[in-house]
Chains A and B, each alone.
Chain A
């Protein structure tokens, strides 16, 4: 069983580095379907295991290539911290089944956003 947990982590990790995301998007469905967890518990566990800087190894690779905007990243971190408080309060008051459905819609919206073409090109180092 523990080997299964490790393999899920490893597989999700590869996608984390590849996509520059935290991994929750893949972890939550993996825990629900492969480990049979409740949607709320999967989400809480996903948040728990993302507390340590798991993306640090990936980040260092991006940093080496100068593909990082530290200031924008720091601002985003603060926003996510505060927004996360509000979102989690809502989630805990929502039924697992509804949450599951919303999670699917959320992913479709995220995918649609990614499909959009960038409106302009600008390197992060430019003066603003």
Chain B
């Protein structure tokens, strides 16, 4: 997928990722990273760095406002979790440098799959 339409395709892909992001209250990186790798041929590390760029602006803002106006936000918990994520993020990025792209993919896939199966099975009970 290496053409002048590439930016447009990336935009469309991101819009779909955004819909999932608003639907599930996640940042979108979990879909963005594999899609950049699989569909657009990014290296794993570069895909992760690029995904972080996309998450620096408040891209969840419109989605958040919809949740906030529906009264679906716990402000206290939100404020208290923030600093940890910021500090932990820098530390995690440092560890990522030590790991190969292959190991990174394996770690992420395992964690996300495990949580997915857990969530889906809980819901079915």
User: Residues of A at under 8 Å CB distance from B?
Assistant: 2, 5-29, 31, 35, 37-38, 40-63, 65, 67-92, 97, 99-124, 126, 128
How many angstroms between the C-alpha atoms of A105 and B23 in the bound complex? 12
Q: Are B19 and A23 in contact (CB under 8 A)?
A: no
Interfacial chain A residues near B55, Cβ < 8 Å: 21-22, 50, 53-55, 77
Q: Which of B3, B15, B123 contacts A97 (CB 8 A)?
A: B123
- The number of chain B residues touching the other chain, given as a range, is 35 or more
Q: Are B62 and A103 in contact (CB under 8 A)?
A: no
Q: Are B87 and A116 in contact (CB under 8 A)?
A: no
Q: Are B21 and A83 in contact (CB under 8 A)?
A: yes
Q: Which of A6, A9, A47 contacts B67 (CB 8 A)?
A: A47
Q: Are A31 and B77 in contact (CB under 8 A)?
A: yes
* A–B Cβ pairs within 8 angstroms, 7 of them: A13-B90, A40-B72, A44-B67, A76-B10, A81-B59, A83-B17, A111-B116
